[in-house]
Amino acid sequence: MPVRLIKFALSKKHPEPPFFRQPDQLKSSYDAVIIGGGGHGLAAAYYLAKDHGITNVAVLERGYLGGGNTGRNTTIIRSNYLTPEGVAFYDASVKIWENLSQELDLNLFYSNRGHFTLAHTESAMRTMRWRAEVNKQHGVNSEVVGPDDIKQACPEIDLSCAGHAPILGALYHAPGAVARHDAVAWGYGRAASNMGVEIFQNTEVTGLDIQHGRIVGVQTSRGNIKTGKVLSAVAGFTPRITQMAGFCTPIVIHPLQACVTEPMKPWLDTILVSGSLHVYVSQSSRGELVMGASLDPYEIHSTRSTLDFVEGLSSHILDMFPFLSGIKVVRQWAGMADMTPDFAPVMGLTPVQGLYLDAGWGTWGFKATPISGKTMAATLASDKPHDLIHAFRLSRFAEFELTGEKGAAAVGH
Amino acid sequence: MRLPHQPGEWIKRGSRVSFSFEGKTYSAIEGDTVSSALWAAGVKVLGRSFKYHRPRGILSLANHDINVMVENGIDINMRADVLPVIEGMALKAVNTSGSVARDYYSVLGWLAPFLPVGFYYKVFHKPKALFPFWERVIRRMAGLGVMNPKAPRVVSPKQHLHCDVLVVGAGPAGLSAALAAAKQGASVILADENAQLGGTLSYDHAGSGEALDLLESLRAEVAAQPNIAVHLSSYAAGWYTDNYVPLVGPQGMSKVRAGKVIVAGGAFEQPAVFRNNDLPGVMLGSAAQRLIHRYAVKPFQRAVVLAGNDQAYRVASDLLAAGVDVAAIVDLRQDGKGSALGDIPLYSGYCIEEAVGGAGVEGVRICPWDGQGKADLSRAVFIPCDGVAVSVGWAPAAALLYQAGTKMSFDDACQQFVPERLPADVFAAGRINGVYGLQECLADGERAALAALGVAATENLPTTAQASHPWPIVEHPKAKNFLDFDEDLQLKDFANAAQESFDNIELMKRFTTVGMGPSQGKHSNMNAIRVLAKLRGEPIAKVGSTTARPFFHPVPMGHLAGRTFHPERHSPLHGWHQAHGATFTTVGVWQRPAYYGSDKAAAIAAEARAVRSAAGMIDVGTLGKFEVRGPQAGEFLERYYTGHFLRQRVGSTRYALLLDESGVMVDDGVVARFAEDFYYVTASTSNAAAVYREMTRRLQTWGLDATIVNLTGSYGALNIAGPKSAEILGQLTSTDLATLANGGAVETIVAGAAARVINVRFVAGLAYEIHAPAQTLPQLWQALFEAGQTAGIKPFGTDTQRLLRLEMGHFIVGHDTDGLTQPLEAGLDWALANDKAFYIGQRSLQTQARKPLTKKLVGFTLEAGAHPLPEECCLVIRDGNIDGRITSIAYSPTLDKVIGLAYVAPEVATPGSQFSIRRQDGVEVSARVTATPFVELA
Amino acid sequence: MKLLNCPINGLRPVEEFAYGGELRAQPDTAACTDAEWADYVFHRNAAPGLKQEWWYHVPSGTWFVAERNTMTDRVERTYLWGEA
């Protein structure tokens, strides 16, 4: 029995302090303002304080902490991407994840499960080989495996997928993991707050003050703030912020849906993704199957769910696991995914001096939480893009230098 | 204990059913649910709670809690409250260690002080190495039923239904609404999750026959209405855009599209919060009433009624009529509105401070209280009893309304959330509107129906005052006063969570997990909101509530999946391929022969040999095929593709390269010109539909005078290739094939049928592609096959085609190109007619031409003896960096060499240069850039 | 699921349609700068609001334009190209 639990039993009053301070009022100015109180924004606040000693920071969240995509994703963490810059970036994230619970002293339930991207066609197998080779080039532990290896990791799977899309093999990524998404926001938030960062929930940014191409302040529903440095990390709300700032990006918002079953005793120990069936599934520590599929095909700024999504997903899950007919889906929800044409984020400087963008996270944002925070903090502190994010600059589109990631995101997660 | 016959009871007395629970056999009556049968048999401990494994019995008997969840080895997580008993069922409670009667995990109850809310975030992560161990423990303790990997796949039927009005809920308001709508001539679907109509009419009798009489007459009226379709045992799982509502029944799902939806789903009765309020025997008043009137089960011998509203007195009357000894009515309200019932002692302004008992309730300690949670123990009274019926309030079953975008607001008078602003075409009636009282519900149902049909718009009925008690919550220093029975959450958990900053409704939910269990907050959300409002010192209206998401009750994946369809497209020659031993591959939805025979390597070698030495034929009927006709057909192609088409000679073909707006290669094919105003265009199999789609859009926006006809499905095609191909084809057509040399094209007769013959050089130096209406393909193919027998013609498949085209040095879009490849990288400078005013992608290429290329696609050969072969997509490595990758590679039997295509750095791209491939096993293999085609033109 | 009104075929389930992206005016390729062209190819004004969008009814091959509020997902009207 962990010794720490004893203090709970011995204290008359609940001995835990608040996770974060909630100041009543905004100050009139801050050294930096972060728009977005999700995992990325709070991680950036943490690293600003920890790595750069910048603590006079306000994090502004229009809803509740972690209430955006941080609280809606299907929690998959991996670095088996297709491009060298993608692999380097996400691998750096995984390295932080591996010790993050200890660093934040909060159990994030970071659970290394292994990750299989199933290939049902020769074309898909070629893409898996491509990803494996690029991963190996960068020291990331991925390899192409055959049906036997998949069956060994998941004996219950029907390799023939009901005879319609037989599995030829997979890209096996040993570092694949899942984590408790809400807790990541809480952990970073607490640590940032403890270092002096102020977090404001229910505070919406209504405008940006820009003079001569430089940011000078932020208007909010609770008053105006003067500041010279603003980071926007608002995922599905990015186009509204960039509209306030007066520039455009390729980002388009599409809903990304997910659903969860009732809890059952553990049986699925690994993470499975199928590009052909457009589904992915893992089992949480609570025992629920957490499942998702592809993006909704058209733009909506809403988190509404559709029946077709969960019907199609169930049909494909049953192709892989026919015995799950009686398992019940409890709840479905959606997030607003900020999609880019090359399936890579938009990070770094913007046409407005002092305004930094962390966006374009589509279906690949949760896994990047630690490294995006770290690199955006460095970028904001030095006004120069961190090396790891150079490939994700906004200007790459004007330069026709898109990243080559489209093959890796397949279904996305 | 079973009661004598109850009027309107749901059980069929004559018919007994036997089942087993936890290894013991019980006799039930047909119509019983598992819970009612067990309670009738005197079994009180029916389940164990999730976290502390406390003994649990019936709480709602309405599937608003999961106190009683059972499994049978195949189906798991079944709700015993509403699961009909079937002969031979063998059930056990989920998530116990040992048995439900003796659950070893109940030791966790003793550990409760060590395990406050959110404790698992504070521990188990240090030391890091131990977390996997703790995670295994947690995973084993969490979860409810045990999944059975041998359970059969059940295919459930789905159907689509349409109606003018969908009424959700067949209680008094719903029945009234359905009848009113039907009488106006509307087609109505009336759905209820229960096995029978009636809602509260089937159990809330208050000791009189009035409700049943009304139910009977309403039932008869509904049956007499031909335009009401009744769906029982069917719950509305969710509301989706445009009034799309799936009704989930035991057999499958009916997806309803309704013109209007009236939600008359009623309200969930809410528990009171006091120490040990989860003991078996403590149940909601409506649960006791359901036991009595639906299943003829006596809920208790001796009961205490806990009242927070007038409804409790109706419950007390029902208990008395059933012969229960009602020991006391404990009314939370100071001015207990109800008058005493006969001799029953009435304690006004009292609360239950603690329920006492081991495996079931044995008595309650009641005290005067301040209405705010604090009991005065100095004047406690202990009342022995074996049951507590709790009636303190309701929460509306408004999930569908929330999903439809209704704005709900908190009504202080009746103390519940009610709809404030409903979206168009969605209506609400009955208890959901805060309207209690039978006559009022009937009236509200009619009002809603008339409003829905636009017949009359009347004022909303007033909400019923004090239908719910504002604070049915009693504090206790020793806790175990539960708010959420699914998650074992006690009152102090919320204060603790708020103390830790989780003090708004969403954070509180996520940190405590209130409402996140299988019941999704039906019995817990309202009290949680009350507690939070008090902790914040704010009115409930300001605290709000969490978002209600589908589903209302969890839906089995088999029902959601239904019957699945996996369409396949077959070419007109499919039967011939099958008869000749083809091994098929799937290309999109098409089935195409990959090779003929079962030994892949041998088949490919033989087929390739035939094409190189004599002739082969392949079915290419899956290609996209479009006729572009009209005065501006040429102008259209001129803009759409990269090449010149306006001045294309009639009777000739041109390569058709398609780019997207950013200059990336999207598809390629061939354009044949058969007349001044008639072009025939081919596209690849996988892109055919997308190419056609974009063609028709561009045609409109460019406003050109041309038409495009998509013949992809209605025309078939074949390719005959090899040195003897002209000789063979020549036997079947009068056209002089010499005139088709160098990419000619002609419309002619082949084997007696009209056909388009095109000279193409994709797989061989001499080859012809023949396109004809699909129904003539079989005869055409057969004629060529027979004509070619003496020459040694063989059919060949896509695998062989891939090798043959590689020998010719041809790339395949999507195989040798990817989502970023632009034409200059693939050596296609010659295909870009940049003297044209416009083609799609041209402008982007202008920008990109200003930058140096980073890679080029080249042919290569491998030095002898490289085994195993590097796989496609192995990397090209130079100085430890990635230059590119190989995209195609194969051993060519014709050349007795390994050949391929690869992306290399431009400085290495000249024939003769050497480069390195890192094979999949890490070994570096040397390759040499080679000019293409690799084979001599045959 | 959502219903969409095809100008030719009437109200059909959204599953029968393919989304074609926002209607945007293409700059004059001869006159625009590289930056203006890249802006057209890649950048979008994706803040929520009333958008003119291309939609395609797949079974009948009908392209049309829908005026849709991308926040509320309400379609104000649909019309064939050229019949605005």
For chain B, the domains span: 12-121, 158-268+396-452, 271-319+327-332+341-392, 471-561, 587-660+670-682+695-806, 852-938
Is residue A356 one of the residues assigned to a domain?
yes
- pLDDT reported for residue C76: 97
Contacts of residue A356, Cβ cutoff 8 Å, sequence gap at least 6: A229, A230, A231, A232, A348, A349, A350, A376, A379, A380
Whether the predicted model's global pTM rises above the 0.90 cut: yes
- Say yes or no: A146 and A172 in one domain: yes
- Say yes or no: A197 and A146 in one domain: no
Structure tokens at A12: 């008359």
Euclidean distance between CA atoms A347 and A393, whole angstroms: 5
Euclidean distance between CA atoms A268 and A146, whole angstroms: 19
Euclidean distance between CA atoms A409 and A293, whole angstroms: 12
Q: Which residues on neighbouring strands pair with residue A44, listed in sequence order? A: none
pLDDT tens-digit readout, A4-44? 888 888 888 888 999 999 999 999 999 999 999 999 999 99
Parallel, antiparallel, or unpaired: how do β-strands B325-331 and B302-307 relate?
A: parallel
- pLDDT reported for residue A411: 44
For residue B553, the distance in angstroms to the closest alpha carbon of chain A comes to: 7
C47 interfaces chain A, CB cutoff of 8 Å: yes
Asked if B693 lies within 8 A of C18 by C-beta distance, the reply is: yes
Q: What is the DSSP string of B511-525?
A: HH-TT-STTTTTTTH
Q: B471-561 adopts what CATH topology?
A: Arc Repressor Mutant, subunit A (1.10.10)
Asked if C1 lies within 8 A of B846 by C-beta distance, the reply is: no
B844 interfaces chain C, CB cutoff of 8 Å: yes
C10 contacts in B (CB within 8 Å)? Answer: none
Q: How far, in Å, are A229, A327, B100 from residue A33 at the CA level?
A: 6, 46, 55
For residue C44, the distance in angstroms to the closest alpha carbon of chain B comes to: 14
For residues B818, B819, B820, B822, the Cα torsion angle rounded to the nearest 10 degrees is: 70
ipTM of the complex: 0.98
For residue C32, the distance in angstroms to the closest alpha carbon of chain A comes to: 13
For residue C46, the distance in angstroms to the closest alpha carbon of chain B comes to: 19
Range of the domain at A280: 113-177+252-338
Structure tokens at B694: 């974009």
> Over chain A, what is the mean pLDDT?
95
A220, A34 contact by CB (below 8 A):
no
- pLDDT reported for residue A408: 52
Across the range B450-457, mean pLDDT stands at: 94
Q: B852-938 adopts what CATH topology?
A: Elongation Factor Tu (Ef-tu); domain 3 (2.40.30)
pLDDT tens-digit readout, B208-232? 999 999 999 999 999 999 999 999 9
A206 interfaces chain C, CB cutoff of 8 Å: no
Is residue A151 one of the residues assigned to a domain?
yes
- Interface list for A 247-306 with C (CB within 8 A): 248-253, 297-302, 304, 306
Do the domains B158-268+396-452 and B271-319+327-332+341-392 sit in the same CATH topology, yes or no?
yes
Count how many pairs of residues, chain B against chain C, have C-beta atoms within 8 Å: 45
HSE-up (13 A, CA, CB side) for residue B111: 15
B500 contacts in A (CB within 8 Å)? Answer: 16-19
For residue A255, the distance in angstroms to the closest alpha carbon of chain C comes to: 11
Euclidean distance between CA atoms B66 and B59, whole angstroms: 9
Check the CA dihedral A354-C46-A248-A341 and report its sign. positive
pLDDT tens-digit readout, B399-439? 999 999 999 999 999 999 999 999 999 999 999 999 999 99
Across the range B555-563, mean pLDDT stands at: 96
Q: Which of C41, C43, C46 sits opposite A253 (nearest CB)?
A: C46
Nearest to B85 by CA among B118, B40, B146: B40
Instruction: Give me the number of domains chain A comprises.
Output: 2
Nearest to A287 by CA among A109, A152, A115: A109
Q: Which of C29, C37, C63 sits opposite B838 (nearest CB)?
A: C29
Is residue A84 one of the residues assigned to a domain?
no
Alpha helices in A115-173 (DSSP H): 122-137, 147-153
Among B843, B844, B848, B851, most C C-beta atoms within 10 A, so best to mutate, is B843
For B585, which residue in chain A has the nearest alpha carbon? A121
- pLDDT reported for residue B551: 96
CATH architecture of B271-319+327-332+341-392: 3-Layer(bba) Sandwich (3.50)
- pLDDT reported for residue B325: 97
pLDDT tens-digit readout, B250-280? 999 999 999 999 999 999 999 999 999 999 9
- Say yes or no: A271 and A333 in one domain: yes
Confidence of residue A412 (pLDDT cuts 50, 70, 90): very low
Q: How many helices (H) and strands (E) does chain A have?
A: 11, 20
Q: Which of C2, C34, C37 sits opposite B242 (nearest CB)?
A: C2
- Say yes or no: A187 and A170 in one domain: no
Three-class secondary structure of residue A58 per DSSP: strand
A395 interfaces chain C, CB cutoff of 8 Å: no
Is residue A209 one of the residues assigned to a domain?
yes
Euclidean distance between CA atoms B162 and C18, whole angstroms: 24
Euclidean distance between CA atoms B906 and B855, whole angstroms: 5
pLDDT tens-digit readout, B665-700? 999 999 999 999 999 999 999 999 999 999 999 999
A254 contacts in C (CB within 8 Å)? Answer: none
B756, B659 contact by CB (below 8 A):
no
Q: B12-121 adopts what CATH topology?
A: Ubiquitin-like (UB roll) (3.10.20)
Provide long-range contacts, Cβ within 8 A and 24+ apart, for A158-164: A158/A319, A158/A320, A158/A321, A158/A322, A161/A120, A161/A274, A161/A277, A161/A319, A161/A320, A162/A318, A162/A319, A162/A322, A162/B153, A162/B564, A164/A319, A164/B566
- Residue A50 burial (C-beta neighbours within 10 Å; 0-12, 13-18, 19+): middle
Which residue is listed with tokens 């403890």? A194
Q: Which residues on neighbouring strands pair with residue A187, listed in sequence order? A: none
Euclidean distance between CA atoms B12 and B34, whole angstroms: 15
- Say yes or no: A350 and A227 in one domain: yes
Single out the residue in A338, A366, A396 at which a domain terminates.
Answer: A338
Structure tokens at B399: 């999930």
B922 contacts in A (CB within 8 Å)? Answer: 136
Structure tokens at B888: 């195609």
Is residue A4 one of the residues assigned to a domain?
no
Q: Which of A263, A333, A404 sits opposite B549 (nearest CB)?
A: A333
Nearest to B289 by CA among B326, B314, B323: B314
C34 interfaces chain B, CB cutoff of 8 Å: yes
Is residue A92 one of the residues assigned to a domain?
no
Q: Which of C2, C38, C71 sits opposite A301 (nearest CB)?
A: C71
Confidence of residue B374 (pLDDT cuts 50, 70, 90): very high
Asked if B701 lies within 8 A of C42 by C-beta distance, the reply is: no
CATH classification (class only), B587-660+670-682+695-806: alpha beta
CA C57 centroid distance within chain: 12
- pLDDT reported for residue B301: 98
Confidence of residue B137 (pLDDT cuts 50, 70, 90): very high
Residue type, B294: R
B936 has pLDDT over 80: no
B touches which chains (3+ CB pairs under 8 A)?
A, C
Q: Which of B499, B501, B550 sits opposite A305 (nearest CB)?
A: B550
pLDDT tens-digit readout, A324-376? 999 999 999 999 999 999 999 999 999 999 999 999 999 999 999 999 999 99
CATH architecture of B158-268+396-452: 3-Layer(bba) Sandwich (3.50)
Asked if A64 lies within 8 A of B138 by C-beta distance, the reply is: no
B238 contacts in A (CB within 8 Å)? Answer: 305, 307
Q: Residue B28: in which H helix or E strand, if any?
A: strand B24-30
- Interface list for B 378-407 with A (CB within 8 A): 403
Q: What is the CATH number of the domain that holds A280?
A: 3.30.9.10
Contacts of residue B776, Cβ cutoff 8 Å, sequence gap at least 6: B716, B753, B754, B755
Asked if B147 lies within 8 A of A264 by C-beta distance, the reply is: yes
> Over chain B, what is the mean pLDDT?
95
Q: Which of C38, C47, C51 sits opposite A397 (nearest CB)?
A: C38
B162 interfaces chain C, CB cutoff of 8 Å: no
Is residue A97 one of the residues assigned to a domain?
no
- Say yes or no: A214 and A331 in one domain: no
B918 interfaces chain A, CB cutoff of 8 Å: yes
Is residue A227 one of the residues assigned to a domain?
yes
Q: Which of A301, A307, A400 sits opposite C48 (nearest CB)?
A: A301
- pLDDT reported for residue A410: 44
Q: Residue B510: in which H helix or E strand, if any?
A: helix B505-512
Euclidean distance between CA atoms A177 and B838, whole angstroms: 49
Among A285, A291, A304, A403, most B C-beta atoms within 10 A, so best to mutate, is A285
- pLDDT reported for residue A1: 62
- Say yes or no: A257 and A400 in one domain: no
Q: Which residues on neighbouring strands pair with residue B656, listed in sequence order? A: B669
Confidence of residue A2 (pLDDT cuts 50, 70, 90): confident
Asked if A249 lies within 8 A of C1 by C-beta distance, the reply is: no
A touches which chains (3+ CB pairs under 8 A)?
B, C
A401 interfaces chain C, CB cutoff of 8 Å: no
| B10-B322-B22 Cα angle (round to 5) | 60
- Residue B813 main-chain phi, psi, to 5 deg: -65, 130
- pLDDT reported for residue B338: 60
- Say yes or no: A166 and A216 in one domain: no
Q: What is the total residue count of chain A?
A: 413
Asked if B152 lies within 8 A of A286 by C-beta distance, the reply is: no
Asked if C63 lies within 8 A of B697 by C-beta distance, the reply is: yes
pLDDT tens-digit readout, B73-128? 889 999 999 999 999 999 999 999 889 999 988 988 888 888 889 999 999 999 99
Among B557, B686, B847, most A C-beta atoms within 10 A, so best to mutate, is B557
- pLDDT reported for residue B80: 97
B594, B585 contact by CB (below 8 A):
yes
B624, B692 contact by CB (below 8 A):
yes
A341 interfaces chain C, CB cutoff of 8 Å: yes
Contacts of residue B217, Cβ cutoff 8 Å, sequence gap at least 6: none
Asked if B844 lies within 8 A of C37 by C-beta distance, the reply is: yes
pLDDT tens-digit readout, B325-342? 999 999 999 986 666 687
- pLDDT reported for residue B225: 97
- Residue B598 main-chain phi, psi, to 5 deg: -110, -25
A300, A252 contact by CB (below 8 A):
no
Across the range B541-548, mean pLDDT stands at: 89
C64 contacts in B (CB within 8 Å)? Answer: none
Among A232, A238, A241, A300, most C C-beta atoms within 10 A, so best to mutate, is A300
C42 contacts in B (CB within 8 Å)? Answer: 662
pLDDT tens-digit readout, A270-279? 999 998 899 9
Euclidean distance between CA atoms B317 and B208, whole angstroms: 9
Across the range B332-360, mean pLDDT stands at: 88
pLDDT tens-digit readout, A34-63? 999 999 999 999 999 999 999 999 999 999
For B555, which residue in chain A has the nearest alpha carbon? A328
List domains and CATH numbers for chain C: 3-79 (3.30.2270.10)
- pLDDT reported for residue B573: 98
A37, A201 contact by CB (below 8 A):
yes
Nearest to C67 by CA among C45, C49, C82: C49
For residue B550, the distance in angstroms to the closest alpha carbon of chain C comes to: 14
Single out the residue in A338, A353, A376 at which a domain terminates.
Answer: A338
- Say yes or no: A357 and A397 in one domain: yes
Q: What is the total residue count of chain C?
A: 84
- pLDDT reported for residue B12: 97
- pLDDT reported for residue B111: 87
pLDDT tens-digit readout, A173-221? 999 999 999 999 999 999 999 999 999 999 999 999 999 999 999 999 9
B230, B170 contact by CB (below 8 A):
yes
- Say yes or no: A171 and A188 in one domain: no
C35 interfaces chain B, CB cutoff of 8 Å: no
Q: Residue B390: in which H helix or E strand, if any?
A: strand B387-391
B710, B680 contact by CB (below 8 A):
no
Single out the residue in A309, A338, A367 at which a domain terminates.
Answer: A338
For residue B661, the distance in angstroms to the closest alpha carbon of chain C comes to: 7
Q: What is the CATH number of the domain that holds A217?
A: 3.50.50.60
Percent of chain B with pLDDT over 70: 99
- Say yes or no: A259 and A331 in one domain: yes
For residues C53, C54, C57, C62, the Cα torsion angle rounded to the nearest 10 degrees is: 130
- Residue A356 burial (C-beta neighbours within 10 Å; 0-12, 13-18, 19+): buried
Which residues of B520-664 form beta strands (DSSP E)? 555-556, 582-587, 590-596, 616-619, 624-629, 653-659
pLDDT tens-digit readout, C19-34? 999 999 999 999 999 9
Euclidean distance between CA atoms B658 and B690, whole angstroms: 12
Q: What is the total residue count of chain B?
A: 938
